[in-house]
Structure formats: structure tokens, C-alpha cells
Amino acid sequence: MSYFQAVRLYSAAELTVFTTLVVVWAGNLGDHLKLVLGWCHGFGWIVLCMSIALGCVRKIFPWPVLAAAVSPLGPLGSTIAIEIEAWRRRHGVAAKGA
């Protein structure tokens, strides 16, 4: 599996954790579950950002992917940006500034 694919999957997994956290919080489904999911999301998001940053330095990702990850959208932003980059690669479209 390529580094791009691994980070792509990790971004989707982190988005799943974040979405679960939002559902548990909105539904008031348990303080302990919110705590566990909050810690998992917090550390997971940090690891995701570091993984994307490393990919940017290695020129695997364009820098806007990192910008999307650290935006208020967090893992949703990174997942969208990575999927856009995957689409560009499939269709042979170069990212601006690359």
C-alpha cells in the first residue's frame, strides 16, 4: 500500500471517529464514551496532521491538503482534500502550484 493510500484510509477512519463523537455528543449518549472518543479523535487528528505534513514535505500531497486538515473542518476537510487529490491523479489533472 502506498503512503498516499495509507493516509487516505487513516483520514477516513479519523472522520469516522469524529462523526461518532459528534453523534454521541449530540445524543448525550454517555460521558465516558464522549471522553474516550474525544481523546481518540484528539490524538488521531494530531497524527493525521503530522502524516499529511510529512507527505507534503515528501511531495506526496500538495500543501492545500494540510491546510484543509488544520482548518475547522478537521478530518472532514482532510478527507475531502485527499479525495480531490485522488480524483486529480486518476484524471491526470495537476494541482495548482505543483
Judge whether 39 lies within some domain.
Answer: yes
Please tell me the predicted confidence (pLDDT) of residue 93.
82
Judge whether 9 lies within some domain.
Answer: yes
Judge whether 45 lies within some domain.
Answer: yes
Judge whether 98 lies within some domain.
Answer: no
Judge whether 97 lies within some domain.
Answer: no
**Per-residue confidence of the chain (98 residues) as pLDDT tens digits?**
999 999 999 999 999 999 999 999 999 999 999 999 999 999 999 999 999 999 999 999 999 999 999 999 999 999 999 999 999 999 988 766 55
Judge whether 49 lies within some domain.
Answer: yes
> Strand (E) positions, the chain?
none
- Distances in Å between the Cα of 95 and the Cα atoms of 7, 50, 74, 89, 98 are 18, 21, 21, 9, 5
Q: Which domain holds residue 13?
A: 3-91
Judge whether 42 lies within some domain.
Answer: yes
User: Based on the structure, what is the number of domains in the chain?
Assistant: 1
Judge whether 81 lies within some domain.
Answer: yes
Model pTM score: 0.89
